[in-house]
Amino acid sequence: MGCVTEQPVAAPAAGPPAQELRADCASCFALCCVVPAFTASTDFAITKPAGRPCLHLAGDFRCGIHTRLRERGFRGCTVYDCFGAGQQVSQVTFGGHDWRSAPATARQMFTVFPVMRDLHELLWYLTQALPLAPTGSAHARLRADLERAFAAITALTRGDPADVAAVDVDAQRQAVNPLLVRASAHARAAAGPRLIDHRGADLAGARLRGADLRGASLRGALLIGADLAATDLRLADVTGADLRDACLDGADLSTTLFLRQSQLDAARGDAATVLPPGLARPAHWPAGLT
């Protein structure tokens, strides 16, 4: 089902290790099950206010329906990604003191968590951008800027609770985003001179089956329910793209830029969908070819 292309598109070099930017639920005090609010919808079976534990949260901080979240109407939980902020807040910022046994910490912990989550998300994007700016004089400035931004945000994540809570996340995003755009432009240039720009486009339900979107900018694009089957998305930038229920059957995502696991988890694909290294085929996708 893959598209035939006229020229090869090389994969970006591997980035630095980012294990600390992946959720380790066993080391977290179920902050994602408590801090966010959600409303009864196609993504959540119930309405829950911010700061209140989900009714399915057990005493050991485990989800009582973890293996049945989708069938029980909690699809939104299956696509949530804290980028490792949960264990950072639980084990580092608050030194292993959980909000149940030390209730005095609860309010501050719940305030810190969303800030930490946003900072860890920025760190994840920077880890993806760094290998797009190879070493060498031609790219020395971009790489140095990315490394400085990574170091600065890392330092913010290591502050005490009051310091983390006071971080201006919007200011950090405004500083990092131009660097990500520069890294993306450099990488996408390898796809050829004709680069499609769909930044922020409303492509919900669009019929793009078999399209050549190599090197396209899909940053912030709305692709809910779009038909992207057999689409060539190599070196396309999907930063913040909404892929909920998008059909990725047979699509080539082997070198897609800034593709998150949560985006795949929200989409639909099949055994012929080509994924980049480091990302897993979602469990709800068909296991074999039909």
DSSP 244-266: TT-B-TT-B-TT-BT--HHHHHH
Percent of the chain with pLDDT over 90: 84
Instruction: Give phi and psi for 90, each to the nearest 5.
Output: -70, -45
In whole angstroms, give the CA distance from residue 166 to residue 185.
33
Amino acid at 134: P
Answer whether residue 243 shows pLDDT above 50.
yes
Please measure the distance between the N-terminal and C-terminal CA atoms of the chain and give it in whole angstroms. Answer: 12
pLDDT per residue as tens digits for the range 64-94: 999 999 999 999 999 999 999 999 999 999 9
State the pLDDT at residue 9.
42
Average pLDDT, the chain: 91
pLDDT per residue as tens digits for the range 3-36: 333 333 444 443 344 558 999 999 999 999 999 9
DSSP the chain: -PPP-SS--PPPPP----GGGS--GGGS--GGGTSS-B-SSSS-SS-B-TTS--TTB-TTS-BTTGGGTTTTT-HHHHT---TTHHHIIIIIITTT--TTTSGGGHHHHHHHHHHHHHHHHHHHHHHHHGGGS-SSGGGHHHHHHHHHHHHHHHHHHTS-HHHHHT--HHHHHHHHHHHHHHHHHHHHGGG-S---B-TT-B-TT-B-TT-B-TT-B-TT-B-TT-B-TT-B-TT-B-TT-B-TT-B-TT-B-TT-BT--HHHHHHSB--TTPBPPTT-PPPTTS-SS--
In the chain, domain spans: 19-36+80-188, 206-290
pLDDT per residue as tens digits for the range 147-199: 999 999 999 999 999 999 999 999 999 999 999 999 999 999 999 888 899 99
- Name the CATH superfamily housing domain 206-290: E3 ubiquitin-protein ligase SopA (2.160.20.80)
Q: State the pTM of this model.
A: 0.89
State the pLDDT at residue 288.
66
